[in-house]
Chains A and B, each alone.
Chain A
């Protein structure tokens, strides 16, 4: 909690706002490397369900996860023209599939509230808070938690099962 407080103590945040399963999410712009249109993804067998595969980003091989599956959200039926947010976290570059990316938003910290225990079925461990804007709620996602903590265990678990 101390870390979160410190991060929230800055006066203002810049968020990349995106849509996922008909909800609006936001994440700190600092960890977003770029946003690309979803192109062909090569599947990698024997990886967790939420790992969609790998893509070629200018000569680098980048893993791509489906954020919907990762957060256990119900999939929307709109499948065409999805986007991939490329994020760089703790030295690992990763792509996350989202339904759409709408804008970059500046919000002051006093509009951010701590997360309720469960927001639309998403575990609060993955959330930094909720921001209230004119259009409604923006759920602030903690990408670091989403990407690193659980996955490592799950990937490990998968390998243990197979061993």
Chain B
């Protein structure tokens, strides 16, 4: 039997391979059967087949076996890429997912019958005309399908060609067509070869040279020729042979990057646009180098991170010790101090590098999440009868894995909303004078110390007026509030619980629980979500996320003799306020900051400490959460610092208004203030004060 770990590795691998097939299928659906994509798919299906058979999951093995057959036919060019075929392949993929869940125990036994039938139907030439039948119909129909046209080069041949090119020879595909009524095909072929041998060197041919010279070909053949002569001259020479109806030479452009992918040489009859596209795609492809990876348990990474944390603290201690040591030793042992100093600073440097690298090791590209979306959008658009060009940008942007885990579900929601409510049906779009195909862009980028993810559609947009009316109708706001509300605030109503503008509820979105959950999920990971929209032109949702949850920048303050960290993400500003500027409103203190009245709270009161170093001059930090702001009095401002967040542990559990703790450079522990709940509760009058 196999251990859990082995099954785990198998499942991970299965996931990756399914994802790989998925991506390439989407590419093929858009751009046709590209050999690179097919090759990748074939390899992935083959890997799944092999490993699932080894682990003993016969169903997966038999399904992928069927899929492999299909891919093989596609690869050989024996089957056209029909939409029925693509649908069947997607269905097979879904089945693979289901089978995977059968292993993990989430899904009950799943029957393969239907999918296998569909695949067989695809493979059956009686239902889908195979290319061989097409070929006999006449020369007009020859275009793309004939297998001999899709000639490929082996890597070894490519190398020969490259060498020859350096010597001044140029490689050409020579396509020869011979009159169908020809009685002596072998003679004609012999003459053609004679002529070619005079002009240059024949490397290979389709079908093989012996077959051609015995006349075993239908109406034409293809030869790979190396020559230094003018192609037009050769063509003319060949045309002089009787019953040769066509002789074309096509130059082969070699891809100088030596890679393992077989290169397809586009046939002469191909649409020139497609040709260019194919080349561009190929260039892209060669840039992607297979990443060498090792699977590591996340727990191990966390442990490493902790160890590095300790190292950082020791480094600080060492530096401090160095100073003391230098003072004590004075000049008597200068050399000793010098070399100790050198070791200390080198150690410091390495520790910083180590910390950075481990931080990076915990990061994953957002592609992990983004990769599922093209399929989601495809399925949704088909279901809704819309046309959408889905663009994904910046999928290589890296995020901490803990954020990656959470960000998926709110993004699915936003994308569904955009497809469902944002982008209009093609007819409607044409009426509005827009392109029938809508554009949905998902983009991730790194801006300063944040990751910004935007979901942008060019759909109908959101009307703030309608938002207000809906909110009024649902009793979420009153008339007066609606009157005061700015357009921006009105748009933000979308994030209020129980608000949904969709009049029809369907199974895709519009259950009215969406956007408020999106917001709370994003805020859970210290993110901020923003909405902008122009009626008729589209909606953009922007999510701003911290790079990592483990390390944050914070403003260090002190209360009595202890340090507290205020997350910089929530710090609006810090200032000194003379005591006389504090006003009282209904027992509570407030201050006026640039025309806005903000509640003022003494942090020492909240934490039950003795506060107030100087009663006349108060240090006030303004903390902001969403649109709400409040001022907090602290004893001293100590400056900014990057801190590693640690939990207070199960024993103490959750402490009101404290979100965790951190270890300072001197080894002491500072508490991290939970600005979010503090500001919110002040505004909702829920604040619990402890009498000092």
Contacts and interface: CB of A to CB of B under 8 A. Distances in A.
Contacts of B658: 44-46
Interface string B657-690: 1100101000111110000000000000000101
A44 B651 contact: no
A40 B609 CA distance: 17
Interface stretch (A11-19, A48-56, A118-126): A48-56
A155 interface: yes
B165 to A, nearest CB: 61
Contacts of A147: 651
B656 A61 contact: no
Nearest to A147: B651
Interface in A108-139: none
A59 B309 contact: yes
Contacts of B651: 63, 92, 94, 147, 151
A84 B658 CA distance: 25
Interface in A38-74: 40, 42-47, 51, 53-56, 58-63
Interface in B560-582: 562
A51 B671 CA distance: 15
Given A45-B658, A46-B690, A59 B313 contact: yes
B483 interface: no
A59 B650 CA distance: 16
Given A43-B562, A44-B658, A56 B663 contact: yes
Interface stretch (B83-91, B254-262, B641-649): B641-649
B148 interface: no
Interface string A1-17: 00000000000000000
Q: Which of A51, A63, A151 has the most CB of B within 10 A?
A: A63
A76 interface: no
Contacts of B607: 45-46
B668 A61 contact: no
A160 to B, nearest CB: 12
Contacts of A162: 656, 688
B236 interface: no
Interface in B55-107: none
A47 B646 contact: no
A44 B668 contact: no
Contacts of A46: 607-608, 655-658, 690
Contact of B668 (A42, A45, A62, A91): A42
B309 A44 contact: no
B661 A155 contact: no
A42 B671 contact: yes
Q: Which of A45, A46, A91, A94 has the most CB of B within 10 A?
A: A45
Given A45-B658, A54-B648, A59 B609 contact: no
A61 B655 contact: no
Contacts of A51: 652
Nearest to B310: A59
Contact of A61 (B310, B606, B657, B669): B669
A75 B283 CA distance: 78
A10 to B, nearest CB: 28
Given A45-B609, A61-B649, A92-B650, A56 B656 contact: no
B690 A61 contact: no
A162 B606 CA distance: 12
B336 interface: no
B272 interface: no
B310 A45 contact: no
Contacts of B656: 46, 159, 162
Given A45-B609, A46-B607, A162-B656, A56 B688 contact: no
Contacts of B309: 59
A100 to B, nearest CB: 24
Contacts of A40: 668
Contacts of B513: none
A43 B648 CA distance: 12
Given A44-B652, A92-B651, A59 B668 contact: no
B615 interface: no
Contacts of B652: 44, 47, 51, 54, 63, 155
Nearest to B644: A59
A4 B310 CA distance: 39
Contacts of B655: 44-47
Contacts of B671: 42, 44-45
B307 interface: yes
Contacts of A151: 651
B653 interface: yes
Contact of A56 (B648, B649, B668, B690): B668
A124 B663 CA distance: 38
A151 B307 CA distance: 31
Contacts of B653: 155
A91 B651 CA distance: 10
B345 interface: no
Nearest to B306: A59
B645 to A, nearest CB: 10
Q: Which of B310, B650, B670 has the most CB of A within 10 A?
A: B650
A61 B606 CA distance: 23
A63 B669 contact: no
Contacts of A45: 606-609, 655, 658, 671, 690
A93 B657 CA distance: 23
A48 B399 CA distance: 38
Nearest to B308: A59
Nearest to A51: B652
Contact of A42 (B307, B657, B661): B661
Contacts of B661: 42, 54, 61
Interface in B594-623: 606-609
A61 B608 contact: no
Nearest to B654: A159
A42 B649 CA distance: 14
Nearest to A156: B653
B684 to A, nearest CB: 14
A93 B648 CA distance: 11
A114 B306 CA distance: 44
Interface string A133-157: 0000000000000010001000100
Q: Which of A42, A62, A151 has the most CB of B within 10 A?
A: A42
A22 to B, nearest CB: 28
Nearest to B688: A162
A94 B648 CA distance: 11
Contact of B663 (A44, A61, A92): A61
A42 B670 contact: yes
Contacts of A58: 310
A45 B652 CA distance: 11
Interface of B: 306-307, 309-310, 313, 562, 606-609, 646-658, 661, 663, 667-671, 688, 690
Closest 9 CB pairs of A and B: A45-B607, A59-B310, A42-B669, A56-B663, A63-B651, A63-B652, A59-B309, A54-B669, A61-B646
Given A61-B661, A61-B669, 4 more contacts: A54-B652, A61-B646, A61-B649, A94-B651
23 contacts: A42-B669, A43-B562, A44-B671, A45-B607, A45-B608, A45-B655, A45-B658, A45-B690, A46-B607, A47-B652, A53-B669, A56-B663, A59-B310, A59-B313, A60-B646, A61-B647, A61-B648, A63-B648, A63-B652, A147-B651, A155-B652, A155-B653, A162-B688
